[in-house]
Amino acid sequence: MTEIDTSAPVLVTGASGYIAGWLVARLLSEGHTVHAAVRSPDDPTKVGHLDEMARDSSGSIRYFGADLLRPGSYAEAMQDCELVFHTASPFMSKVEDPIKQLIEPAQLGTRNVLEQANGVASVRRVVLTSSCAAIYSDNSNLAETPNGVFTEEIWNTSSSVDHQPYSYSKTLAEREAWRIADAQERWDLVTVNPSIVLGPSKNPRASSESFNMVKQFGDGTLKTGVPRMGFGFVDVRDVAEVHYRAGFTPAASGRYLVSGHDSDLAEIGVILRASFGDRFPFPPRILPKWLLWLVGPMFNKWLTRKIVSRNVDLPWRGDHGKAKRDLGIEFRPLKESVVEFFQQMIDIGAVKARA
Ligand code: NAP
């Protein structure tokens, strides 16, 4: 049971990010002092939306320049904090050098932040933004689970530098976090493990892979069709709320799988077409697995045959019972997240309707 003093400042690493935007908004609306650790504290495209939120709230924000790979760079930002939200980690699927671009910032960055927590006496709890990617590598892993559903008990054991490197980076980072947390007793670790996060952003210029995933439905990338590939989806506002409750609920503990809906890519296309009609080149059909296996890697080098075999036409199922029971979370309908996200992309000109 960890009681957090609500008058102490709260650290959010990667405060400029997509998920962090809603978490910072929630903290500010409750009057907290937020220590925002970001790479570019002077760049208005990264922090302007946070300034605006702080102006309209009872809370306040202070910026600290920090980089995951610079040892000691979170020291000042963590001073006097009892609660640390460690959200910063690169989330991108198309990388040329997975070790440099994903694995090192995720794993060494987590070590950097959590070892800093060992050195700052005020820290009582660290909430780490992990991922369902630390639970599974491919949809085919569902068949190996005890009850045909992904849960907090399960760990990703089949990603590697060459196969699903983002998932590998999140697995290594979360394992590192538990190793450091278990070696001491002053602070406890709670991890939030979301599936694919969707929904409007506080910073429409944020770079999360979530944007690319939905944008490609409207920018012509999927104009020939979409694979039926299972995913869990969850709204960004619900994920932020889970973080907040995981931070301030004394009895919160362990991992929280956070996924509102068991679904697939094809359903996203169906929702978009039903809501926005034929104004955008939404995928007109479901692409057969054999075709993707044959030609997929020629069009997209990241769509390897191994990924096609282990994910296409296979469902995803996640158990969000623990988050509901311990944290009282309710999940928004998938349609709301998808439609509001896409509408925001139209509003900022990220996708354009046909003339
Ligand atoms: P995002 O908008 O790209 O946020 C990532 C944050 O990490 C940004 O603030 C980024 O800073 C920061 N960052 C990256 N490399 C850094 C470095 N070397 N030093 C310091 N900061 C660095 O993506 P997001 O979706 O909100 O992701 C936030 C967290 O959620 C990540 O841990 C991600 O793995 C996890 N997650 C995301 C999803 C999803 O579907 N979106 C699902 C599950 C888990 P800059 O703004 O300076 O680039």
What is the DSSP annotation of 286-346? EEPHHHHHHHHHHH-TTS-HHHHHHHBT----B--HHHHHHH------HHHHHHHHHHHHH
Q: Which residues line ligand 1 (CB under 6 A)?
A: 14, 16-20, 38-40, 46, 67-69, 87-91, 105, 129, 131, 170, 194, 196-197, 206-208, 210
CA of 129 relative to ligand 1 center, distance in Å: 9
Q: Residues of the chain with pLDDT > 90: what percent?
A: 92
**70: Cβ contacts below 8 Å, ≥ 6 apart:** 112
pLDDT the model gives residue 100:
95
Q: Which of 13, 45, 67, 91 to mutate to test the pocket of ligand 1 (most atoms within 8 A of CB)?
A: 91
CA of 146 relative to ligand 1 center, distance in Å: 31
pLDDT the model gives residue 207:
77
> How many domains in the chain?
1
Q: Is residue 2 part of a domain?
A: no
CA of 3 relative to ligand 1 center, distance in Å: 27
Overall residue count recorded for the chain in this entry? 355
Residue 221, domain CATH: 3.40.50.720
**With contact defined as beta carbons under 8 Å apart, do 54 and 30 qualify?**
no
Q: Is residue 355 part of a domain?
A: no
Span 112-165, pLDDT tens digits: 999 999 999 999 999 999 999 999 999 999 999 999 999 999 999 999 999 999
Q: Is residue 136 part of a domain?
A: yes
**Residue the block writes with tokens 């600290």:** 64
pLDDT the model gives residue 286:
95
Q: Residue 147's closest CA among 263, 317, 309?
A: 317
Please give the structure tokens belonging to residue 26: 């929630």
**Per-residue pLDDT for 310 more than 80?**
yes
Return the SS3 of 161: coil
Count of C-beta atoms within a 10 Å radius of residue 225: 16
Q: Is residue 290 part of a domain?
A: no
Q: Is residue 160 part of a domain?
A: yes
For residue 182, what are the domain limits? 10-284+299-347
Q: Is residue 216 part of a domain?
A: yes
Q: Is residue 3 part of a domain?
A: no
pLDDT the model gives residue 300:
79
Mean pLDDT on 91-96:
86
**Per-residue pLDDT for 10 more than 80?**
yes
**Per-residue pLDDT for 78 more than 80?**
yes
Count of C-beta atoms within a 10 Å radius of residue 97: 11
Distance from C-alpha of 314 to C-alpha of 351, rounded to nearest angstrom = 29
The amino acid present at 197, given as its one-letter code, is V
Q: Is residue 119 part of a domain?
A: yes
